[in-house]
Amino acid sequence: MPKQNVVDQFSRPLQDLRISIMDRCNFRCSYCMPAEIFGDDYAFMHEEELLSFDEIVTLAEQFAKLGVKKIRITGGEPLLRKNVPTLIERLVHVEGIEDIALTSNGVFLVKQAQALKEAGLARVNISLDALTESVFQTMNGRNVKPEIVLKGIDAALEAGLEVKVNMVVKRGVNDQEVQPMALYCKQKGINLRFIEFMDVGQTNGWDFSQVVSKKELLDEVAQIGEVEALEPNYFGEVASRYRYVESGEEVGFISSVTETFCGSCTRARISADGKLFTCLFAEEGYDLRELLRSGATTDMVADYLVGTWEKRTDRYSEERTEESVRNKRKIEMSYIGG
Protein backbone atom coordinates (compact mmCIF):
# COMPACT_ATOMS: atom_id res chain seq x y z
CA MET A 1 0.00 0.00 0.00
CA PRO A 2 1.49 3.40 -0.97
CA LYS A 3 1.90 6.12 1.66
CA GLN A 4 -1.40 7.77 2.50
CA ASN A 5 -2.17 10.43 5.10
CA VAL A 6 -5.41 9.86 7.00
CA VAL A 7 -7.54 12.30 8.97
CA ASP A 8 -10.32 11.71 11.48
CA GLN A 9 -13.86 13.15 11.66
CA PHE A 10 -12.45 16.50 12.89
CA SER A 11 -9.72 16.64 10.21
CA ARG A 12 -7.00 15.72 12.69
CA PRO A 13 -4.15 13.82 11.01
CA LEU A 14 -2.56 10.71 12.48
CA GLN A 15 0.99 11.80 13.32
CA ASP A 16 2.17 10.32 16.60
CA LEU A 17 2.13 6.84 18.02
CA ARG A 18 2.68 5.90 21.65
CA ILE A 19 3.48 2.27 22.21
CA SER A 20 3.30 0.76 25.66
CA ILE A 21 5.65 -2.20 25.84
CA MET A 22 5.11 -3.21 29.47
CA ASP A 23 2.13 -2.93 31.82
CA ARG A 24 4.17 -3.58 34.99
CA CYS A 25 6.02 -0.92 36.92
CA ASN A 26 8.51 -0.74 39.78
CA PHE A 27 6.71 2.37 41.12
CA ARG A 28 3.23 2.77 42.53
CA CYS A 29 2.58 6.46 41.84
CA SER A 30 -0.68 7.30 43.56
CA TYR A 31 -1.97 9.17 40.49
CA CYS A 32 -1.31 6.24 38.16
CA MET A 33 -1.02 2.82 39.88
CA PRO A 34 -2.15 3.23 43.46
CA ALA A 35 -0.57 0.50 45.63
CA GLU A 36 -3.86 -0.49 47.21
CA ILE A 37 -5.25 -1.42 43.77
CA PHE A 38 -2.09 -2.64 42.03
CA GLY A 39 -1.10 -5.05 44.81
CA ASP A 40 0.60 -8.47 44.88
CA ASP A 41 -2.48 -10.22 43.50
CA TYR A 42 -3.04 -7.79 40.61
CA ALA A 43 -3.34 -9.66 37.30
CA PHE A 44 -0.62 -8.21 35.12
CA MET A 45 -0.12 -9.52 31.59
CA HIS A 46 1.71 -12.78 30.88
CA GLU A 47 4.64 -12.56 28.52
CA GLU A 48 2.79 -14.15 25.60
CA GLU A 49 0.06 -11.51 25.93
CA LEU A 50 2.52 -8.71 25.25
CA LEU A 51 3.06 -7.73 21.63
CA SER A 52 6.35 -9.23 20.43
CA PHE A 53 9.02 -6.94 18.98
CA ASP A 54 8.18 -8.34 15.51
CA GLU A 55 4.53 -7.38 15.99
CA ILE A 56 5.45 -3.91 17.26
CA VAL A 57 7.70 -3.29 14.26
CA THR A 58 5.03 -4.52 11.83
CA LEU A 59 2.51 -2.11 13.34
CA ALA A 60 5.02 0.76 13.32
CA GLU A 61 5.61 0.15 9.61
CA GLN A 62 1.89 0.33 8.88
CA PHE A 63 1.40 3.46 10.99
CA ALA A 64 4.35 5.10 9.25
CA LYS A 65 2.64 4.51 5.90
CA LEU A 66 -0.37 6.45 7.21
CA GLY A 67 1.59 9.52 8.26
CA VAL A 68 3.09 8.71 11.66
CA LYS A 69 6.55 10.20 12.01
CA LYS A 70 7.07 10.07 15.76
CA ILE A 71 7.02 7.11 18.09
CA ARG A 72 7.18 7.22 21.87
CA ILE A 73 7.89 4.05 23.81
CA THR A 74 6.20 3.97 27.19
CA GLY A 75 4.52 1.73 29.78
CA GLY A 76 4.12 0.88 32.79
CA GLU A 77 7.85 1.14 33.05
CA PRO A 78 9.19 0.37 29.57
CA LEU A 79 12.69 -0.42 30.81
CA LEU A 80 11.35 -3.42 32.74
CA ARG A 81 11.00 -5.11 29.34
CA LYS A 82 14.10 -7.03 28.24
CA ASN A 83 16.24 -5.83 25.31
CA VAL A 84 14.61 -2.44 24.73
CA PRO A 85 17.68 -1.20 22.78
CA THR A 86 17.06 -4.01 20.26
CA LEU A 87 13.52 -2.73 19.71
CA ILE A 88 14.73 0.86 19.36
CA GLU A 89 17.31 -0.19 16.80
CA ARG A 90 14.62 -1.89 14.72
CA LEU A 91 12.21 1.05 14.95
CA VAL A 92 14.91 3.50 13.89
CA HIS A 93 15.05 1.67 10.57
CA VAL A 94 11.31 1.89 9.87
CA GLU A 95 10.87 4.06 6.78
CA GLY A 96 9.13 7.35 7.58
CA ILE A 97 9.83 7.32 11.33
CA GLU A 98 11.87 10.43 12.07
CA ASP A 99 11.87 10.58 15.83
CA ILE A 100 11.89 7.97 18.60
CA ALA A 101 11.53 8.91 22.25
CA LEU A 102 11.07 7.02 25.50
CA THR A 103 9.20 7.92 28.69
CA SER A 104 10.64 6.35 31.83
CA ASN A 105 10.76 6.79 35.57
CA GLY A 106 14.52 6.84 35.17
CA VAL A 107 15.49 4.13 37.65
CA PHE A 108 17.10 1.86 35.05
CA LEU A 109 18.78 4.56 33.02
CA VAL A 110 22.07 4.40 34.88
CA LYS A 111 22.52 0.94 33.38
CA GLN A 112 20.77 1.42 30.06
CA ALA A 113 21.16 5.01 28.82
CA GLN A 114 24.32 4.34 26.82
CA ALA A 115 22.92 1.26 25.07
CA LEU A 116 19.69 3.10 24.27
CA LYS A 117 21.59 5.98 22.73
CA GLU A 118 23.76 3.63 20.70
CA ALA A 119 20.61 1.90 19.46
CA GLY A 120 19.43 5.23 18.01
CA LEU A 121 17.18 6.65 20.71
CA ALA A 122 17.14 10.45 20.46
CA ARG A 123 15.18 11.59 23.45
CA VAL A 124 14.04 10.52 26.86
CA ASN A 125 11.37 12.02 29.12
CA ILE A 126 12.13 11.19 32.73
CA SER A 127 9.40 11.49 35.32
CA LEU A 128 10.40 13.03 38.63
CA ASP A 129 7.80 14.53 40.96
CA ALA A 130 9.94 15.84 43.83
CA LEU A 131 13.49 16.38 45.05
CA THR A 132 12.68 16.01 48.74
CA GLU A 133 13.08 12.36 49.67
CA SER A 134 9.92 11.94 51.76
CA VAL A 135 7.75 13.72 49.19
CA PHE A 136 9.16 11.70 46.31
CA GLN A 137 8.61 8.50 48.26
CA THR A 138 4.99 9.45 48.90
CA MET A 139 4.54 10.16 45.19
CA ASN A 140 6.21 6.95 43.93
CA GLY A 141 4.61 4.68 46.52
CA ARG A 142 7.68 2.43 46.69
CA ASN A 143 10.11 4.31 48.94
CA VAL A 144 12.44 4.97 46.03
CA LYS A 145 14.81 7.88 46.72
CA PRO A 146 15.17 10.73 44.25
CA GLU A 147 18.97 10.14 43.98
CA ILE A 148 18.51 7.10 41.78
CA VAL A 149 16.44 9.12 39.30
CA LEU A 150 18.86 12.04 39.45
CA LYS A 151 21.66 9.60 38.58
CA GLY A 152 19.50 8.31 35.72
CA ILE A 153 19.12 11.87 34.44
CA ASP A 154 22.90 12.36 34.57
CA ALA A 155 23.48 9.05 32.81
CA ALA A 156 21.08 10.04 30.03
CA LEU A 157 22.77 13.42 29.61
CA GLU A 158 26.23 11.84 29.59
CA ALA A 159 25.09 9.35 26.95
CA GLY A 160 24.08 12.31 24.76
CA LEU A 161 20.32 11.82 24.95
CA GLU A 162 18.07 14.87 24.87
CA VAL A 163 16.41 14.92 28.29
CA LYS A 164 13.12 16.39 29.42
CA VAL A 165 11.77 15.98 32.94
CA ASN A 166 8.04 15.44 33.59
CA MET A 167 6.52 16.44 36.91
CA VAL A 168 2.90 15.70 37.83
CA VAL A 169 1.71 18.13 40.48
CA LYS A 170 -0.89 17.15 43.09
CA ARG A 171 -2.15 19.83 45.42
CA GLY A 172 -1.25 19.23 49.04
CA VAL A 173 1.18 16.44 48.15
CA ASN A 174 4.07 17.79 46.04
CA ASP A 175 3.08 21.35 45.13
CA GLN A 176 5.78 22.74 47.43
CA GLU A 177 8.31 21.07 45.10
CA VAL A 178 7.42 23.17 42.06
CA GLN A 179 10.04 25.86 42.58
CA PRO A 180 12.87 23.53 43.72
CA MET A 181 12.25 21.35 40.66
CA ALA A 182 12.15 24.39 38.38
CA LEU A 183 15.45 25.62 39.84
CA TYR A 184 17.11 22.22 39.58
CA CYS A 185 16.15 21.86 35.90
CA LYS A 186 17.01 25.46 35.08
CA GLN A 187 20.48 25.03 36.58
CA LYS A 188 21.04 21.83 34.62
CA GLY A 189 19.65 23.34 31.42
CA ILE A 190 16.94 20.65 31.28
CA ASN A 191 13.49 21.32 29.88
CA LEU A 192 10.97 20.70 32.69
CA ARG A 193 7.33 20.02 31.88
CA PHE A 194 4.70 20.35 34.54
CA ILE A 195 1.72 18.06 34.04
CA GLU A 196 -1.70 18.78 35.50
CA PHE A 197 -3.01 15.83 37.52
CA MET A 198 -5.47 14.11 35.17
CA ASP A 199 -8.60 12.05 35.69
CA VAL A 200 -7.26 9.04 33.79
CA GLY A 201 -8.47 5.56 34.72
CA GLN A 202 -10.84 4.59 37.48
CA THR A 203 -8.52 4.12 40.42
CA ASN A 204 -6.52 7.24 41.19
CA GLY A 205 -9.22 9.00 43.22
CA TRP A 206 -8.97 12.11 41.05
CA ASP A 207 -10.64 15.23 42.30
CA PHE A 208 -10.49 18.63 40.65
CA SER A 209 -9.45 20.22 43.96
CA GLN A 210 -6.12 18.35 43.69
CA VAL A 211 -5.32 19.79 40.27
CA VAL A 212 -2.76 22.59 40.34
CA SER A 213 -3.57 24.56 37.21
CA LYS A 214 -1.15 25.69 34.56
CA LYS A 215 -1.86 29.27 35.59
CA GLU A 216 -0.84 28.63 39.19
CA LEU A 217 2.26 26.72 38.07
CA LEU A 218 3.25 29.49 35.69
CA ASP A 219 2.90 32.08 38.47
CA GLU A 220 5.24 30.03 40.66
CA VAL A 221 7.81 29.60 37.92
CA ALA A 222 7.71 33.31 37.13
CA GLN A 223 8.89 34.01 40.68
CA ILE A 224 12.18 32.31 39.80
CA GLY A 225 12.72 34.37 36.67
CA GLU A 226 10.66 36.23 34.07
CA VAL A 227 9.32 33.90 31.37
CA GLU A 228 7.88 34.50 27.90
CA ALA A 229 5.63 32.27 25.81
CA LEU A 230 7.06 30.48 22.77
CA GLU A 231 5.28 29.51 19.57
CA PRO A 232 4.44 25.79 19.23
CA ASN A 233 7.12 23.82 17.37
CA TYR A 234 4.53 21.93 15.35
CA PHE A 235 0.78 21.25 15.01
CA GLY A 236 -0.39 19.10 17.88
CA GLU A 237 2.39 19.95 20.34
CA VAL A 238 1.09 18.95 23.75
CA ALA A 239 3.07 21.25 26.02
CA SER A 240 2.70 25.01 25.96
CA ARG A 241 6.28 26.23 26.02
CA TYR A 242 7.91 29.17 27.78
CA ARG A 243 11.50 30.36 28.17
CA TYR A 244 13.28 32.26 30.90
CA VAL A 245 13.90 35.67 29.37
CA GLU A 246 17.39 36.10 30.82
CA SER A 247 18.91 32.67 30.64
CA GLY A 248 16.91 31.02 27.84
CA GLU A 249 16.09 27.61 29.36
CA GLU A 250 12.69 26.21 28.47
CA VAL A 251 9.85 25.19 30.72
CA GLY A 252 6.57 23.67 29.57
CA PHE A 253 3.07 22.99 30.84
CA ILE A 254 0.75 20.16 29.90
CA SER A 255 -2.59 21.59 30.85
CA SER A 256 -4.85 18.71 29.88
CA VAL A 257 -7.45 19.70 32.46
CA THR A 258 -7.64 23.50 32.46
CA GLU A 259 -6.74 24.27 28.81
CA THR A 260 -7.69 21.38 26.61
CA PHE A 261 -6.05 20.57 23.29
CA CYS A 262 -8.27 17.92 21.69
CA GLY A 263 -8.61 20.05 18.54
CA SER A 264 -5.01 19.30 17.60
CA CYS A 265 -4.72 15.79 19.03
CA THR A 266 -2.88 13.66 16.49
CA ARG A 267 -1.98 10.75 18.79
CA ALA A 268 -2.79 7.06 18.65
CA ARG A 269 -1.83 4.70 21.45
CA ILE A 270 -1.18 0.98 21.57
CA SER A 271 -1.34 -0.88 24.87
CA ALA A 272 1.22 -3.55 25.73
CA ASP A 273 -1.23 -6.27 24.69
CA GLY A 274 -1.84 -4.67 21.34
CA LYS A 275 -5.08 -2.71 21.69
CA LEU A 276 -5.31 0.50 19.72
CA PHE A 277 -6.79 3.50 21.53
CA THR A 278 -7.68 6.72 19.78
CA CYS A 279 -7.94 8.67 23.04
CA LEU A 280 -6.27 8.55 26.46
CA PHE A 281 -9.73 8.47 27.98
CA ALA A 282 -11.21 5.77 25.77
CA GLU A 283 -13.33 2.99 27.21
CA GLU A 284 -12.49 0.36 24.58
CA GLY A 285 -9.54 -0.43 22.36
CA TYR A 286 -9.31 -2.09 18.93
CA ASP A 287 -7.58 -5.47 19.09
CA LEU A 288 -4.57 -5.28 16.77
CA ARG A 289 -2.90 -8.32 18.33
CA GLU A 290 -5.85 -10.50 17.40
CA LEU A 291 -5.71 -9.11 13.87
CA LEU A 292 -1.98 -9.80 13.56
CA ARG A 293 -2.16 -13.25 15.11
CA SER A 294 -5.08 -14.28 12.91
CA GLY A 295 -2.80 -13.96 9.90
CA ALA A 296 -3.96 -10.62 8.48
CA THR A 297 -1.76 -9.27 5.69
CA THR A 298 -0.02 -5.93 6.20
CA ASP A 299 -2.47 -4.31 3.75
CA MET A 300 -5.39 -5.61 5.83
CA VAL A 301 -3.79 -4.15 8.98
CA ALA A 302 -3.26 -0.81 7.24
CA ASP A 303 -6.90 -0.77 6.01
CA TYR A 304 -8.09 -1.48 9.53
CA LEU A 305 -6.00 1.39 10.93
CA VAL A 306 -7.33 3.77 8.26
CA GLY A 307 -10.92 2.77 9.00
CA THR A 308 -10.42 3.19 12.73
CA TRP A 309 -8.77 6.59 12.49
CA GLU A 310 -11.25 7.90 9.92
CA LYS A 311 -14.20 7.30 12.23
CA ARG A 312 -12.48 8.87 15.28
CA THR A 313 -14.51 11.51 17.11
CA ASP A 314 -12.73 11.60 20.52
CA ARG A 315 -12.51 14.90 22.39
CA TYR A 316 -12.82 13.83 26.01
CA SER A 317 -10.98 16.75 27.61
CA GLU A 318 -13.39 19.16 25.99
CA GLU A 319 -16.37 17.11 27.15
CA ARG A 320 -15.04 16.28 30.65
CA THR A 321 -17.66 18.29 32.52
CA GLU A 322 -20.60 17.08 30.44
CA GLU A 323 -23.05 14.67 32.01
CA SER A 324 -22.75 12.22 29.08
CA VAL A 325 -19.11 11.36 29.81
CA ARG A 326 -19.13 11.55 33.59
CA ASN A 327 -19.77 7.83 34.11
CA LYS A 328 -17.40 6.57 31.43
CA ARG A 329 -15.28 3.56 32.43
CA LYS A 330 -11.84 4.75 31.40
CA ILE A 331 -8.81 2.53 31.02
CA GLU A 332 -5.81 2.94 33.33
CA MET A 333 -2.84 5.18 32.46
CA SER A 334 -0.36 2.39 33.25
CA TYR A 335 -2.17 0.21 30.69
CA ILE A 336 -2.39 2.74 27.88
CA GLY A 337 0.96 4.37 28.55
CA GLY A 338 0.41 8.10 29.09
Minimal distance, residue 201 CB to ligand SAM, in Å: 7
197 binds ligand SAM (CB under 6 A): yes
Measured from the CB atom, is 75 or 252 closer to ligand SAM?
A: 75
What is the number of other CB atoms lying within 10 angstroms of the CB of residue 202?
13
Quote the CA–CA distance of 261 and 266 in Å, as a whole number: 10
- Region 64-123 residues binding ligand SAM, contact defined as CB under 6 A: 74-75, 77, 103-105
Chosen residue from 166, 203, 271, 308 binding ligand SAM by CB under 6 A:
166
How far is Cα 97 from Cα 182, in angstroms, rounded to an integer?
32
Q: Is 125 in the site for ligand SF4 (CB under 6 A)?
A: no
Tell me: does residue 317 bind ligand SF4 (CB under 6 A). yes
What number of chain residues touch ligand SF4 (CB under 6 A)?
23
CA distance 146 to 80: 19
198 touches ligand SAM by CB under 6 A? yes
- What's the Cα-to-Cα distance from 327 to each of 201, 228, 321, rounded to whole Å? 12, 39, 11
In the list 168, 182, 279, 331, the residue contacting ligand SAM (rule: CB under 6 A) is: 168
Of 29 and 161, CB closest to ligand SF4: 29
| Closer CB to ligand SAM, 23 or 61, in the complex | 23
Distance CA 32, CA 221 (A): 25
If DSSP codes are grouped into helix, strand and coil, which group holds residue 120? coil
Q: How far is the CB of 311 from ligand SAM (least distance, A)?
A: 26
Element (H, E) at 168: strand 162-169
240 lines the binding site for ligand SAM (CB under 6 A): no
Partner touching 335 among ligand SF4, ligand SAM, none, CB below 5 to 8 Å by kind: none
Q: Per-residue x/- marks for ligand SF4, 199-228, CB under 6 A?
A: ------------------------------
Q: Shortest gap between Cβ of 293 and ligand SAM (angstroms)?
A: 25
Q: How far is the CB of 204 from ligand SF4 (least distance, A)?
A: 10
- For residues 307 and 315, give the distance between their C-alpha atoms in angstroms, rounded to a whole number: 18
What does the buried/exposed string (b/e) look like for 286-312 if buried means 16 or more CB atoms within 10 Å of the residue's CB?
bbbbebbeeebeeeebbebbbebbeeb
In the bound state with ligand SF4, the residue whose beta carbon lies nearer, of 21 and 33, is 33
- Contact letters for ligand SF4, residues 17-56 (x by CB under 6 A): --------x-xxx--xx-----------------------
Question: Contact 287/275 with Cβ under 8 angstroms?
Answer: yes
Own/partner contacts of 131-136, CB < 8 Å, gap of 24 or more, are 131/177, 131/180, 131/181, 131/184, 132/177, 132/180, 135/173, 135/174, 135/176, 135/177, 136/174
Q: Using the rule CB under 6 A, which residue among 67, 146, 152, 338 binds ligand SAM?
A: 338
With binding defined as CB under 6 A, does residue 76 bind ligand SF4?
A: yes
